[in-house]
Structure 1
Amino acid sequence: MAGKIRHLVNRSGRYHARIVVPKELRAIIGKTELRQPLGGDYRQALRLLPSAVAQLQHQIALAERKISTTSTIRPARYPLAPDQIALAHYQWRLEGDELARSHPAYAQIGIDDQLVMMLRKGIAGSLTDNELAELVGDRIDRYRHLGNTDAKRGTAEWRTLARALCIAEYEALARTVERDEGDYGGRPTTPMLIDAQPPSLPQEALSLKKLWEDYKKSRTQSGFMRDGGKRQDPVIDNLRNFLKHNDARRVTKKDLLAWRDHLMIELSAKTVSDVYLSTVRSLFSWAVENERMQENPAVGVRQPKARKVRGREKGFTDDEALAVLKASQSYEPTANQFGHISETPQNVAAKRWAPILCAFTGARISEITQLRKEDVRQEGDRWIIRITPEAGTVKTGGYRDVPLHRQVVDLGFIDFMTTAKAGPLFHGATDPAKYGTGARVASGKVSEWLRRSKVIPEGIQPNHAWRHRFKTKASELGIDSRVIDAIQGHAGRTAGDNYGDVTVAAKIRAIDAFSWIVED
């Protein structure tokens, strides 16, 4: 839904314009807020609101004059462009003309030809500052008191505004003459008034923090952000700290470009692009789609990333895979000088079993380290693992069953699983809400250990390289890509891939086609 309209309040079914009086002015005005009734009809209230707010702002401006101790012109509190002031003045003059026609004395009022001539000279720019001040100086003062301008007499800005007010006065007089003839359909003819945009109704601030919380709630309800947005929370905190405010509607493209450049001082281009900018782009896009904001300030804000130059394949070669799995299967925890082993049994198990499970399933490392004892079952003479979001997180959001390669069973994984306690096999989290975090920590420790063991070639991701190798070997073996995608949890390439199921039997045939890696 759209944001609340600033200065508009509803009290007992009636609308009012409302402005809070600044603290330093309350002693003069005698109130903490000013109100003006707008009636009970919402549309009418919106139409009357700008004029009512201007009147209330005028009261505040008059109070400010009383506490001013110098003759210095104060900065405009509610600044408007010259064409906007001219349009407001033109409309104000026509409203005054309509009210005046209800008075009997109006028939005695005529058009001052001398005034018309001076206005034409003012429009042409041929009047001196003194002549302009005498002609429209009181009008400029009016809009200064309203807080719409702080232009100083004699400056180019002041003369531009004076000329704009001459145009507004002249056009209003033209409409007055037309009305005298019964023509009420007249419109401005000067491009400045035709093209002027009326001041938009101000809106209440939109809390960036609240917007982020609503966005996370929407995404989690739809099955995304299974960690509750914890990974992206620091992004929004960083943006709020940089902006030094919390109003989403005040965020501009220029702000985000400056933020991006600030992030690049300490972060990589990939992190800035794929984590920080991607997060705010998605947030503001959602805000626009759900009518919380009018536009997405992050559109077009991007950070180029250098293209990676690869000197080799992404996956492990056969020799590299063999070296990693030998190191994994022979891993023994190190005891300190007192013979004490500080490493948990789950971490030891992760280093021994996660690599080979990745090798023969093509699964993501965190999908393996989140496995629970209850996720391993036997069907006939085959063992199956279920990769499910109930155990942590799954990128595709759904579960999948993957048959175990006979070498995994032969090396003793089932014996290990059978003797393990119920629950996670490779991390120690006991709260299901923390399973995902526990799995990520465990996968990170496996990766760190492999790098320290110096069995990982330079430029290779120690965990993800198994997914690449699995796909490469499947291609060499001529296995149906749809079956491999189902095993690895990759989305189908075409709409047709979503029809029909890839059975466990089909997956077993594919897994059995892979040769053993660790040799006796």
Structure 2
Amino acid sequence: MAGKLRHWKEKDGRFYARIAVPERLRSYLDRPRSELIEPLGADRRAALRLHPAAVAKLQHLVTEAEQKSKGEKPDPLPARFPLTETQMARSLYAELVKMDDHFRGVPGACDIGVDDLRVRWLRNAMAGKLSDDELQALAGPWVRQFQHLGNTDVVRGSYEWRQLARALCVAEYEALSRLAERDDGDFSGTPTHPMLANPEVPEEPLEPVSLSRLWTDYLAGRVQAGFLKDGGKRQEPVLKSLRSFLKHDDARRITKKDLLEWRDHLLHVDGKAAKTVNDIYLSTIRSIFAWAHDNERLPANVAATVRQPKPRKVHSRERGYTDAEALAVLKASIAHQPKPNQFGFVRETAHMTAAKRWSPILCAFSGARISEITQLRKEDIRCEGKHWVMRITPEAGTVKTGAWRDVPIHRQVVALGFIDFVQAAADGPLFHGAANPARFAMAAASVSDELAKWLRRSGIAPKGIQPNHAWRHRLKTKAREIGISDRVVDAIQGHAGRTAGDGYGDVTLVAKAAAIDRLPDFELT
């Protein structure tokens, strides 16, 4: 759907190009005024054809006023308001016919006939028979006029300069033809050259679509649906990066080529990993553009197929902890005591110390994602019958599936004193200190990252695995070894079912507790 045409005015059946003049520049015009207006006539199709050149002319006047206000010499700014050869030819033709209308009201002005010699030169120019010097003598003043207006920056002698000069010769030749017809009393003549005769009316430009506004509206919808609980903090740098690269904020102007060039810039200039570029940067833009297209904010999703291939992961070993590795990590975790610095102060927070002590063993017996553990709150731990249970819920931060689940706590975790720790803790998060629920997910992720760094720095976690995620792989492996149903383990870990049949029936808390009770204790002493 076409948007409102900018710098356009209609009044009493006539059309005009108009430019508002900032108040600070009005005194620098030849006549102070709040707006500049150029009449375009009463024919809408003709007015639309003349509009670009008229706007460029008015913009140039405003630019000159800006330069004067700064004490600068009002030099032309090449191609600041670029027009095509056809647009400049149409503009010149209209200007010459308009001048003829004016002079016919001046006594004696029309006694001078058309110069036949000039007409012959114009025909030769149109045919491409003139040298550069001859073209300069014939059309040079017209070219300079458009250069001065900032509509072109062609260089004399170049192919582009010759094409423009020839186009302007076409305009003058057609205008002289109208003058000759009018001298004979025929005012009905129209251009015959293909460049000027019945040109296709340009489509009216569409209003810009703000990329920033798209992001704001998309984010509001996702948050309302229960996603992006951190307010999109992870995605905001993506939008900032794209706007900075493009140097504009109009989503309607973005092409697939723009996005491909941005992708390559992220990889080769910013040095980002292929996985980060594809899974965070491109994924975010694909989602926003898909939403914008679905909601009729954009005519197409140009980001739909823009992706970055990721290197195939090479696994040199199993992805879960072996028995010996798991035991080493848990022993170091349970025995962890923060070390004071050189001044005798302990810099590690109580929350972080608790996370290092309890998070690994909770992951070992639940296969939960590490952030699901580090976001646990005191109120998420409860006794259900004879079992202690932890509720993993998006209310505490975030859950990948968006759904809560209850996971029984293994007897060894209880025996080690975890319930005593929970009951002695203050209300709220157990493993991070964020007070604002909107920051819970980010705080839990920060603790998770620090746990992984701690395990790597200390050399406790072996190379070739993800220190936190390895527990999820290990639980699946151990459960299969002792014959626990994958369907039950999926429910414990928060994995989606693999078949339609998995969606029938429920995995009850009793079934989960029976499965977790079958997991053997670790020999920690």
Q: Deviations over 1:203-234 (max 9, x none)?
A: 56x66555544443333223221111222334
The letter for the 1-side match of 2:225 is: S
Alignment match of 1:404 (pick from 388, 403, 409): 409
Residue 363 of structure 1 pairs with residue 341 of structure 2:
no
Residue 27 of structure 1 pairs with residue 32 of structure 2:
no
Tell me, in whole angstroms, the C-alpha distance in 2 between the residues paired with 1:339 and 1:370: 30
Structure 2 contact 170–193 (Cα < 8 Å) conserved: no
The letter for the 2-side match of 1:332 is: Q
Tell me the residue number matched to 2:161: 158
Alignment match of 1:260 (pick from 258, 266, 290): 266
Tell me, in whole angstroms, the C-alpha distance in 2 between the residues paired with 1:513 and 1:177: 104
When structure 1 is superposed on structure 2, of 320-329 and 86-95 the one drifting more is: 86-95
Alignment match of 1:77 (pick from 77, 80, 95): 80
5+ long unaligned stretches in structure 1: 101-107
Instruction: State the shift of 1:163 in Å.
Output: 2.1
Tell me the residue number matched to 2:390: 385
For the residue of structure 2 that corresponds to 1:402, the secondary structure is: strand
Q: Equivalent residues in 2 for 1:61-140 (5 A)? A: 74-86=77-89, 119-129=122-132, 131-132=134-135, 136=139, 139-140=142-143
Tell me, in whole angstroms, the C-alpha distance in 1 between the residues paired with 2:5 and 2:483: 63
Instruction: State the shift of 1:160 in Å.
Output: 0.6
With over 3 angstroms needed to count, the CA separation of the structure-2 counterparts of 1:474 and 1:121, relative to structure 1, is: farther
Tell me, in whole angstroms, the C-alpha distance in 1 between the residues paired with 2:73 and 2:102: 38
The letter for the 1-side match of 2:84 is: A
Alignment match of 1:232 (pick from 235, 243, 256): 235
Structure 1 contact 61–145 (Cα < 8 Å) conserved: no
Residue 201 of structure 1 pairs with residue 205 of structure 2:
yes
5+ long unaligned stretches in structure 2: 104-110
Tell me, in whole angstroms, the C-alpha distance in 2 between the residues paired with 1:246 and 1:65: 24
Tell me the residue number matched to 1:219: 222
Q: Deviations over 1:3-38 (max 9, x none)?
A: 875446999xx9983344696785134447425499
Q: Deviations over 1:276-334 (max 9, x none)?
A: 44444544555555565667676766555433322111111122112222222233344
For the residue of structure 2 that corresponds to 1:385, the secondary structure is: strand
Tell me the residue number matched to 1:466: 471
TM-score between both structures, scaled by the size of structure 2:
0.75
Tell me, in whole angstroms, the C-alpha distance in 2 between the residues paired with 1:313 and 1:222: 37
Instruction: State the shift of 1:475 in Å.
Output: 4.0
Residue identity (%):
52
Residue 147 of structure 1 pairs with residue 150 of structure 2:
yes
The letter for the 1-side match of 2:378 is: K
The letter for the 2-side match of 1:274 is: D
Instruction: State the shift of 1:413 in Å.
Output: 2.4
Instruction: State the shift of 1:464 in Å.
Output: 0.7
Tell me the residue number matched to 1:345: 350
Residue 321 of structure 1 pairs with residue 326 of structure 2:
yes
Structure 2 contact 76–150 (Cα < 8 Å) conserved: no
The letter for the 2-side match of 1:446 is: L
Instruction: State the shift of 1:386 in Å.
Output: 0.8
With over 3 angstroms needed to count, the CA separation of the structure-2 counterparts of 1:410 and 1:242, relative to structure 1, is: same
Tell me, in whole angstroms, the C-alpha distance in 2 between the residues paired with 1:21 and 1:449: 60
RMSD: 5.2
Q: Equivalent residues in 2 for 1:175-190 (5 A)? A: 190=194
Tell me the residue number matched to 1:103: none
Alignment match of 2:312 (pick from 307, 311, 314): 307
Tell me, in whole angstroms, the C-alpha distance in 1 between the residues paired with 2:489 and 2:211: 43
Tell me, in whole angstroms, the C-alpha distance in 2 between the residues paired with 1:371 and 1:10: 64
Instruction: State the shift of 1:414 in Å.
Output: 2.5
Q: Equivalent residues in 2 for 1:261-300 (5 A)? A: 261=267, 263-265=269-271, 267-284=272-289, 286-287=291-292
For the residue of structure 2 that corresponds to 1:348, the secondary structure is: helix
Tell me, in whole angstroms, the C-alpha distance in 2 between the residues paired with 1:419 and 1:190: 88
When structure 1 is superposed on structure 2, of 318-327 and 17-26 the one drifting more is: 17-26
Tell me, in whole angstroms, the C-alpha distance in 1 between the residues paired with 2:47 and 2:479: 66
Structure 2 contact 363–471 (Cα < 8 Å) conserved: yes
Residue 454 of structure 1 pairs with residue 448 of structure 2:
no
When structure 1 is superposed on structure 2, of 422-431 and 190-199 the one drifting more is: 190-199
When structure 1 is superposed on structure 2, of 344-353 and 462-471 the one drifting more is: 344-353
When structure 1 is superposed on structure 2, of 395-404 and 271-280 the one drifting more is: 271-280
Tell me the residue number matched to 1:105: none
TM-score between both structures, scaled by the size of structure 1:
0.76
When structure 1 is superposed on structure 2, of 343-352 and 51-60 the one drifting more is: 51-60
Tell me, in whole angstroms, the C-alpha distance in 2 between the residues paired with 1:53 and 1:225: 45
For the residue of structure 2 that corresponds to 1:443, the secondary structure is: helix
Tell me, in whole angstroms, the C-alpha distance in 2 between the residues paired with 1:9 and 1:27: 24
